[in-house]
Homo-oligomer: A and B are copies of this chain.
Amino acid sequence: MAVAEFKPSNSITHLRSSSQLSILSKRLSLTKPCSFRTLSRTQKARISCSVAPNEVQAPAVQTQEPKSKPECYGVFCLTYDLKAEAETRSWKKLINIAVSGAAGMIANHLLFKLASGEVFGPDQPIALKLLGSERSFQALEGVAMELEDSLFPLLREVSIGIDSYEVFQEADWALLIGAKPRGPGMERAGLLDINGQIFAEQGKALNAVASRNVKVIVVGNPCNTNALICLKNAPNIPAKNFHALTRLDENRAKCQLALKAGVFYDKVSNMTIWGNHSTTQVPDFLNARIDSLPVKEVIKDHKWLENEFTEKVQKRGGVLIQKWGRSSAASTAVSIVDAMRALITPTPEGDWFSSGVYTNGNPYGIAEDIVFSMPCRSKGDGDYELVKDVIFDDYLRQRMAKTEAELLAEKRCVAHLTGEGVAVCDLPSGDTMLPGEM
């Protein structure tokens, strides 16, 4: 679900100005690379960070002055006065939406949805701030050109850039899609480190320049731990504002239950994805409902629920790649829209949605201080609360424990990026990346 769009945070040759150099060299001290020892697949991969404990710094609050604004693009550099026209006078205040991986396919679907008003409605003008890499900069221009040519009335500003400190300025939303794809032979631990550096950097940038109440949705994989790294590096932004996207998993789970039950998908509700966005995730058929009834009362084939349902949900991306030859950009973009809408519209009575959120006083007994997908409700104010009336059985508890253990292990792998000491990575070497994702 991630697209390769970023400059490596320690690649100085990509930078554009000497002022950027000095700022970056300071930041580099926080993200010294780890040394990896790749072990055989039967052994556990064990990774220790080469940074000595006393070199590891807690994420600092950035005091850096906001730099120059990112480049506006084409027609979006022009001035206009919304208050001067009858049709636009009643519009809301412009909101800034930053999108990373903006030259990738998921963003290519998402940006046009945002610009059309599909998410925020017909009276909400929008500024899009597109973050790409030096390599993708021309492609970013292409995206901006297509946005120009689409003449969306609500789209009032588009800016493009490759420096997150510029692009994230005053962002009300940050949709972090861009991530490095896994290279050949790379274990999850390696991916965690390489992407973790990106998300540490972006967390610092959000902390320094974004709106103090920015809502952050992390899509780039491994998204739960990326979100954790990001929020740890943004101590001045509420940890509650960070989400890891598990909405596509939720949508797929609803669809598979509908198919099995022989009902249309609008009949399935209360679907929770518990835990990590990986193969350890737990689509919860105990609490989900079909036509307001517990799933187990409607689907009598409990063996299917226990043994096949989860795999059906998780294999969906892989099957799609086989069929279509590409990863699921369109439905991922739809699920990002769903995740945003879930926060800005009141959740229907009795229902809930899933999101990977920071565990901090959760009522389910899940370990604190990780990003874990859980059932949420929103009043539509951008915030959420956890749902209390869920039930557990041994089967559900066992599987939740497994995904919790994975997230705790991932957290230990990225301690050098969260300011919590030396990374010790004892992740099992088996691949828990969801099929069809990078």
Which residues of A approach B to under 8 Å, CB–CB? 74-75, 78-80, 103, 108-109, 112-113, 116, 118, 138-139, 141-143, 145-153, 156, 248, 251-252, 254-255, 258-259, 262-266, 316, 319-320, 322-325, 328, 330-331, 333-335, 338
Contacts and interface: CB of A to CB of B under 8 A. Distances in A.
Contact of A328 (B146, B266, B320): B146
A248 B334 contact: no
B254 A331 contact: no
A174 to B, nearest CB: 22
A266 B153 contact: yes
A289 to B, nearest CB: 15
Contact of A251 (B150, B254, B263, B320): B150
A163 to B, nearest CB: 20
A330 B112 contact: yes
A145 B325 CA distance: 13
5 contacts: A75-B258, A103-B324, A138-B323, A139-B325, A148-B265
A78 B146 contact: no
B149 A80 contact: no
Contact of A142 (B113, B323, B335): B323
Nearest to A153: B266
A151 B118 contact: no
The quantity of this chain's copies bound in the complex is: 2
Contacts of A75: 255, 258-259, 264-265
A141 to B, nearest CB: 5
Which among A149, A258, A264 has the highest number of chain B CB atoms within 10 Å? Answer: A149
A257 to B, nearest CB: 10
A78 B248 CA distance: 22
A252 B146 CA distance: 9
A153 B331 CA distance: 14
A418 B212 CA distance: 64
Interface SS, A side: helix
A149 B252 contact: yes
A334 B112 contact: yes
Nearest to A264: B80
Given A109-B109, A150-B251, A150-B334, A264 B78 contact: yes
Nearest to A111: B330
A28 to B, nearest CB: 31
Given A78-B262, A264-B75, A325-B139, A319 B145 contact: yes
A335 B116 CA distance: 12
Contacts of A331: 146-147, 149-150
A422 B322 CA distance: 46
A151 B251 contact: yes
A267 to B, nearest CB: 8
B74 A251 contact: no
A324 B139 contact: yes
A151 B331 CA distance: 9
A264 to B, nearest CB: 4
Nearest to A85: B266
Contacts of A328: 146, 149
Question: 4 tightest CB-CB pairs across the interface, nearest first?
Answer: A142-B324, A142-B323, A146-B331, A80-B264
Contacts of A325: 139, 142
A78 B259 CA distance: 8
A154 B263 CA distance: 15
A330 B118 CA distance: 15
A406 B326 CA distance: 39
Contacts of A149: 248, 251-252, 255, 316, 328, 331, 334-335
A149 B265 CA distance: 9
A103 to B, nearest CB: 8
A125 B75 CA distance: 36
Contacts of A258: 75, 78
Nearest to A258: B75
A145 B248 CA distance: 13
Which among A113, A334, A338 has the highest number of chain B CB atoms within 10 Å? Answer: A334
B146 A330 contact: yes
Contacts of A265: 75, 148, 151
